[in-house]
Chain A
Amino acid sequence: MTAPLRFHYDIDGENFTSAGEASVKVKKSLRQLGFPQEVIRRVAIAMYEGEINMVIHAEGGWAEVTVYPDRIEIVLCDRGPGIKDVELAMQAGYSTAPEQIRSLGFGAGMGLPNMKANSDTMVIDTKIGVGTTITMTVNVG
């Protein structure tokens, strides 16, 4: 059996302009691999929201995408402040993003709920002062 394809990306937390570059690369790779457009879009949106979150809240981190025949797994890991109240953060419209982020078009409190909506499973592992790891899977077909 061949090992699953794995992509690793460092997310630069200093640079809002470059946020999303990893998601663009994943989108292109999945397209080349011939995955259905709807699957690619769900992966791209879920990962892009995660990338934006990492830049807004956690000064970056890393992302790892593993391609299995039946699913795509996305792991987003940061050493940020952690999420104080996950249940609250999952509520649509709840945001702790600074005003300046809203002027850039983000921070509407839709990131985490949208990541959940675009994935089939999502697990948030977070610890205050240590960081957050979010693991999402998107099923193929």
Chain B
Amino acid sequence: MKIREIAEIAGAEVLACEDLVDHEVHSACGSDMMSDVLAFVKEQGLLITGLVNTQVIRTAEMMDMRAVLFVRSKRPTPEILELAKRAEIVVMATPMRMFEACGLIYESGLKGTGLK
């Protein structure tokens, strides 16, 4: 699924790297704990989170993720957006809650990767 489609499904605004929204991602994960993202995620292109700090972008970068979707109307700071631009990670923000955003995106065909 294209990142652009994810933004549409989640009613999200693209805040960084809009030029990269035609990139494809094949799976996603949702978590507010970066520790768990680092420990359990594999090959997921999209991170859906309600946590907003610079380490969200660093975590996504370490995991070779292509996009981060912030839920619950959280707005990333200019510093976070700058970091994302340098890492070439698309940043989006939606007013939706985590459960709703994950549900709609999953229903539209993007899956997790199950248990390792």
Contact = CB atoms under 8 A, between A and B. Distances in A.
Interface string A1-27: 000000000000000110110011001
B63 interface: yes
A106 B39 CA distance: 11
A102 B33 CA distance: 8
Interface stretch (B11-19, B53-61, B97-105): B53-61
B38 A114 contact: yes
A63 interface: no
B53 A48 contact: no
Interface residues of A, number: 27
Contacts of A105: 32-35, 51, 53, 55-56, 59
Interface stretch (A37-45, A74-82, A121-129): A37-45
B62 A106 contact: no
Interface in B21-49: 32-36, 38-39
A104 B55 contact: yes
Contacts of B38: 45, 48-49, 110, 114
Contacts of B79: 17
Contact of B55 (A19, A41, A113): A19
Contact of B35 (A19, A111, A117): A111
A23 B38 CA distance: 13
A23 B62 CA distance: 8
A52 B56 CA distance: 13
A48 B51 contact: no
Nearest to A51: B58
A17 B52 CA distance: 12
Contacts of B32: 105
Nearest to A108: B35
A106 to B, nearest CB: 5
B36 A48 contact: no
14 contacts: A16-B55, A44-B62, A45-B62, A45-B63, A48-B59, A49-B38, A102-B33, A105-B32, A105-B33, A105-B56, A110-B38, A113-B39, A114-B35, A117-B39
Given A19-B58, A41-B63, A45-B38, 11 more contacts: A17-B79, A23-B62, A24-B87, A45-B62, A48-B38, A49-B38, A105-B34, A105-B35, A105-B55, A108-B35, A110-B35
Interface of A: 16-17, 19-20, 23-24, 27, 37, 41, 44-45, 48-49, 52, 92, 102, 104-111, 113-114, 117
